């Protein structure tokens, strides 16, 4: 074999430390970590970046990224990041939050950081459950989905509907860039990576609040194999949480290689309540007509 | 230096600015709102950070972030808002991040009212958030003292990488008094070796309060306890007056001490030997000095604007050396000096009063 012609095509991003993560096998938190690290490398911003970890399975994110990191109380990462960014306006500040963290206990903090147009980047990992505490219902748990705290499936009549954070936040004037992507399959992972890069570029250009929501898996708490979980993202989650660009401020397209070279998926109308898979109980009858 | 008339809340705000405040985050609540309003005007002109948060929860976490970023950060609130900050304070304490808070106490529990009380004493001094920690708590009794303590609070916070709380109440916040405002101090620009600023040319840094292993977390706690022990030996502050010959010692802090001072003046005018002991640090509590005083004093009267909170620390200090009585009003009712005087009179042996004094009170 002629090693002179060998090229490195795949290696660990420098921004990701060479340590073993604690994530469960098949968990896509690891994929998202890699994407963020690649973007930090590509943009050359690792050494001016300050991350803010949330509470959830990603609580140890600070052990994996080779940059300064703070660990926030549950849900408060956007507030903490606001404090960091306000005193370091020339640094890149990002939060890494789960759906329990961002869409339940920390709803006020994310809404107001977005509304202020806080110049931070939010990496929002939506796996539809509270992973760290053992798979309880999250605000993003799909209708009919069984969790340890919705043992007969989420009944929207008593437990309410899942919250679509990207759609919700995109209604505000503050955000510059809000998109939803998924990380269950290579094509989608590439699109997710480009979105993450755009989100950091938005911050580099001081254009305001940016968030990438990533549909992610939790095989352990979904009681599925990793590959079954990936299918659930495709078949159950995407219909309820449509992928797409929910807010792209003027000027964002020009600075990113995401547009228009590759078309981002348009936001589709959500198909609600069709979900069925091993993790779903019987879809609660009649709930969508109330 | 010429004295100027300052309102308490605004004096604290200006003193914080002069003491090097770089980033303020707050949320309106009476009776401290003027502090926030003053800084809204003052900070932008100095190119420093002012931000009105969406809640006290957010405000304290913004302080956490800014302080983790190495800035001199502060928030202020009053009792119900201060309760909301306890989560953040516990994290800040665990992370060894310095910051300054102002609690302008008001009537509680619950929404209570906006009148001055000292009902947060337990929460302030015993640690309102979870876990073992104590913030350093400074209790001014005048607007001048409030300004002076705030001015020095950032350096104190940084020396120990701890939380410093200015514990005052609606009286101090709302009243106007002449103040000798300290001079503008330059903000130190330095890397203290722990702050987050991006890992350029150095290894990355982490600010976290998560320690999954028991032994590891115990070590953190031991470090925190060691720092607190150091604060206890070095930072105890108190004021006393007319204690040398006193038969009865009034112990009071903050604005309760001001009222007690008037009562003591009247008592002295009647020949009663009454002194005042005023803790300035509520934590660390001036236990040793109070214990020493108790050896020569027969009676102690503790006066507070609450149901009796500091009195527990006084009893611990005094032990069996003297009898300790308590007088307090709650709900924002501020006692008149005469009420305190009546308590002094009833606590003292009648022989110690000049019955013929023209001001002798009819009892
Ligand atoms: C104040 C507070 N309440 C509750 C918890 C317990 N808790 C830890 S992680 C978590 C849920 C996290 O879920 P999510 O944000 O969806 O992240 P995931 O673990 O799924 O990645 C909860 C409720 C906590 N640490 N602090
Ligand atoms: S519990 Fe779920 S979210 Fe957490 S690491 Fe495991 S698979 Fe991932």
- What is the DSSP secondary-structure string of A77-105? HHHHHHHHHHH-TTSEEEEEEEHHIIIII
**Residues of chain A with confidence (pLDDT) below 50:** 261-290
| Interchain pair A68, B206: CB under 8 A | yes
Mutate to test the pocket of ligand 2, among A25, A57, A127, A135 (most ligand atoms within 8 A of CB): A57
* Closest chain A CA to residue B24: A83
- Please tell me the predicted confidence (pLDDT) of residue B127: 79
Task: Residue B308: name the closest of B322, B294, B292, B329 by CA.
Answer: B329
Residuewise pLDDT in 10s, chain B (363 residues):
689 999 999 999 999 999 999 999 999 999 999 999 999 999 999 999 999 999 999 999 999 999 999 999 999 999 999 999 999 999 999 999 999 999 999 999 999 999 999 999 999 999 789 999 999 999 999 999 999 999 999 999 999 999 999 999 999 999 999 999 999 999 988 899 999 999 999 999 999 999 999 999 999 999 999 999 999 999 999 999 999 999 999 999 999 999 999 999 999 999 999 999 999 999 999 999 999 999 999 899 999 999 999 999 999 999 999 999 999 999 999 999 999 999 999 998 766 767 666 555 443
* Closest chain B CA to residue A90: B197
Quick check: A52 contacting B, CB < 8 Å?
yes
Q: Is the CB of A132 under 6 A from ligand 1?
A: yes
Q: Judge whether B325 and B244 are in contact, CB under 8 Å.
A: no
For residue A127, the CA-to-ligand 2 centroid distance in Å is 9
Half-sphere exposure (Cβ direction) of B197: Cα atoms closer than 13 Å: 13
Q: Is the CB of A27 under 6 A from ligand 2?
A: yes
Quick check: A91 contacting B, CB < 8 Å?
yes
Cβ density class B96-125: b for 16+ within 10 Å, e for less: bbbbbbbbbbbbbeeebebbbbbbbbebbb
Question: Rounded to an integer, what distance in angstroms lies between the CA atom of residue A282 and that of residue A17?
Answer: 43
Q: Is the CB of A162 under 6 A from ligand 2?
A: no
Mutate to test the pocket of ligand 1, among A133, A149, A213, A215 (most ligand atoms within 8 A of CB): A133
Q: Which candidate from A71, A72, A83 shows the least CB-CB separation from B23?
A: A83
Q: With a threshold of 0.90, does the pTM exceed it? A: yes
User: What is the helix (H) or strand (E) element at residue B103, kind and residue range?
Assistant: strand B99-105
Distance from CA of B177 to the nearest CA of A (A): 33
Kindly give, in sequence order, each residue whose CB lies less than 8 Å from that of residue A8, ignoring residues fewer than 6 positions away: none
- Please tell me the predicted confidence (pLDDT) of residue A1: 59
Which residue has the CA at smallest separation from atom 11 of ligand 1?
A130
A50 contact residues in B (CB cutoff 8 A): 69, 196-198
- Please tell me the predicted confidence (pLDDT) of residue A271: 36
Q: Is the CB of A119 under 6 A from ligand 1?
A: no
Question: Rounded to an integer, what distance in angstroms lies between the CA atom of residue B283 and that of residue B120?
Answer: 13
- Please tell me the predicted confidence (pLDDT) of residue A25: 94
B196 contact residues in A (CB cutoff 8 A): 50, 68-70, 84, 88
Q: Which atom, in ligand 1's list, is nearest to the CA of A127?
A: 20
For residue A133, the CA-to-ligand 2 centroid distance in Å is 10
Q: Is the CB of A131 under 6 A from ligand 2?
A: yes
What are the pLDDT digits (tens) for B201-240? Answer: 999 999 999 999 999 999 999 999 999 999 999 999 999 9
Question: At how many degrees (to 10) do helices B143-160 and B214-234 cross?
Answer: 140
Kindly give, in sequence order, each residue whose CB lies less than 8 Å from that of residue B91, ignoring residues fewer than 6 positions away: A72, A73, B64, B129, B209
Q: Is the CB of A147 under 6 A from ligand 1?
A: no
* Residue B359: count of CB within 10 angstroms of its CB: 10
Task: Residue B242: name the closest of B256, B263, B222 by CA.
Answer: B263
Q: How many CB pairs under 8 A join A and B?
A: 133
- Strand spans (E) along chain A: 49-53, 68-71, 92-98, 121-126, 129-130, 136-137, 175-182, 209-215, 244-248
* A-proximal residues of B, 197-216, CB under 8 Å: 197-201, 204-210
What are the pLDDT digits (tens) for B30-67? Answer: 999 999 999 999 999 999 999 999 999 999 999 999 99
Q: Is the CB of A57 under 6 A from ligand 1?
A: yes
SS3 call for A16: strand
DSSP codes of every residue in B188-246:
P----SS--S--TTS---EE-----SHHHHHHHHHHHHHHHHHHHHH---EEEES-TT-
Tokens of A41: 């490398």
- Please tell me the predicted confidence (pLDDT) of residue A79: 98
Question: Rounded to an integer, what distance in angstroms lies between the CA atom of residue B124 and that of residue A76?
Answer: 22
SS3 call for A186: helix
Cβ density class B38-74: b for 16+ within 10 Å, e for less: bbeebbeeeebbbbbbbbbbbbbbbbbbbbbbbbbbb
- Please tell me the predicted confidence (pLDDT) of residue A276: 39
For residue A27, the CA-to-ligand 2 centroid distance in Å is 6
Mutate to test the pocket of ligand 1, among A76, A101, A165 (most ligand atoms within 8 A of CB): A101
Q: Is the CB of A131 under 6 A from ligand 1?
A: yes
- Please tell me the predicted confidence (pLDDT) of residue B351: 60
Question: At how many degrees (to 10) do helices A77-87 and B56-68 cross?
Answer: 50
| Interchain pair B65, A68: CB under 8 A | no
Tokens of B171: 């009286």
Which residue has the CA at smallest separation from atom 7 of ligand 2?
A218
Q: Which candidate from A50, A83, A91 shows the least CB-CB separation from B63?
A: A83
Q: Is the CB of A74 under 6 A from ligand 1?
A: yes
């Amino acid at each position: 074999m002629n090693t002179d012609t060998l090229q490195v095509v795949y290696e660990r991003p420098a921004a990701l430390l060479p340590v073993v993560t604690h994530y469960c096998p098949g968990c896509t938190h690891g994929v998202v970590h890699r994407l963020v690290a690649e973007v930090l490398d590509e943009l050359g911003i690792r050494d001016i970046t300050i991350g803010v970890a949330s509470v959830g399975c990603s609580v140890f994110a600070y052990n994996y990224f080779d940059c300064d990191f703070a660990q926030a109380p549950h849900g408060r990462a956007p507030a903490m990041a606001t404090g960091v960014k306000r005193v370091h306006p020339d640094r890149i500040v990002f939060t890494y939050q789960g759906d329990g963290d961002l869409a339940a206990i920390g709803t006020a903090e994310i809404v107001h950081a977005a509304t202020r147009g806080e110049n931070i980047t939010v990496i929002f990992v939506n796996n539809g459950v509270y992973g760290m505490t053992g798979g309880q219902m999250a605000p993003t748990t799909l209708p009919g989905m069984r969790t340890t705290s919705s043992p007969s499936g989420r009944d929207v009549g008593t437990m309410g509907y899942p919250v679509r954070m990207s759609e919700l936040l995109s209604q505000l004037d503050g955000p510059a860039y809000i998109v939803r992507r998924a990380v269950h399959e290579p094509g989608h992972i590439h699109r997710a990576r480009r979105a993450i890069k755009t989100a950091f570029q938005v911050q580099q250009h001081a254009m305001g609040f940016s968030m990438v929501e990533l549909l992610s898996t939790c095989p352990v708490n979904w009681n599925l194999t990793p590959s079954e979980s990936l299918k659930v993202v495709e078949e159950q989650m995407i219909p309820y949480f449509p992928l797409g660009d929910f807010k792209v401020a003027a000027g964002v397209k020009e600075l990113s290689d995401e547009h228009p070279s590759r078309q981002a998926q348009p936001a589709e109308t959500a198909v609600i309540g069709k979900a069925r898979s091993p993790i779903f109980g019987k879809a609660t009858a009649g709930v969508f007509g109330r | 230096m010429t004295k100027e008339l300052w309102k308490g809340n605004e004096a604290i705000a200006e003193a914080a600015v002069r003491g090097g405040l770089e980033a303020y985050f707050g949320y309106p609540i009476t009776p401290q709102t003027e502090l926030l309003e003053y800084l809204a005007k003052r900070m932008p002109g100095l190119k420093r950070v002012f931000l009105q948060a969406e809640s006290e929860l957010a405000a304290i976490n913004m302080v956490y972030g800014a302080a983790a970023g190495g800035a001199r950060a502060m928030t202020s609130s009053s009792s119900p808002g201060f309760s909301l900050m306890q989560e953040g304070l516990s994290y800040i304490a665990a992370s060894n991040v310095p910051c300054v808070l102002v609690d302008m106490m008001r009537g509680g529990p619950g929404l209570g009212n906006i009148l001055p009380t000292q009902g947060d004493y337990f929460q302030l001094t015993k640690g309102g958030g979870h876990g073992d920690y104590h913030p350093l708590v400074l209790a001014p009794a005048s607007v001048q003292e409030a300004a002076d303590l705030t001015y020095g609070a950032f350096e104190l916070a940084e020396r120990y990488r701890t939380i410093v709380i200015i514990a005052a109440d609606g009286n101090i916040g709302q009243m106007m008094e002449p103040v000798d405002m300290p001079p503008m101090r330059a903000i130190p620009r330095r890397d203290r070796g722990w702050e987050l600023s991006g890992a350029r040319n150095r290894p990355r840094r982490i600010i976290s309060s998560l320690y999954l292993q028991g032994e590891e977390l115990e070590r953190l706690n031991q470090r925190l306890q060691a720092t607190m022990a150091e604060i206890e030996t070095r930072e105890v502050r108190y004021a006393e007056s007319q204690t040398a010959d006193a038969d009865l010692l009034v112990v009071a802090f903050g604005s309760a001490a001001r009222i007690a001072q008037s009562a003591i003046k009247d008592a002295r005018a009647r020949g009663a030997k009454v002194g005042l002991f005023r803790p300035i640090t509520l934590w660390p509590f001036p236990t040793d000095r109070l214990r020493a005083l108790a050896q020569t004093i027969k009676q102690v009267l503790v006066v507070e604007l609450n149901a009796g909170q500091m009195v527990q620390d006084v009893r611990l200090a005094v032990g069996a050396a003297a009898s300790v009585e308590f007088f307090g009003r709650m709900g924002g009712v501020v006692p008149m000096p005469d009420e305190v005087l009546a308590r002094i009179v009833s606590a003292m042996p009648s022989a110690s009063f000049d019955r013929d004094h023209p001001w002798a009170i009819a009892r």
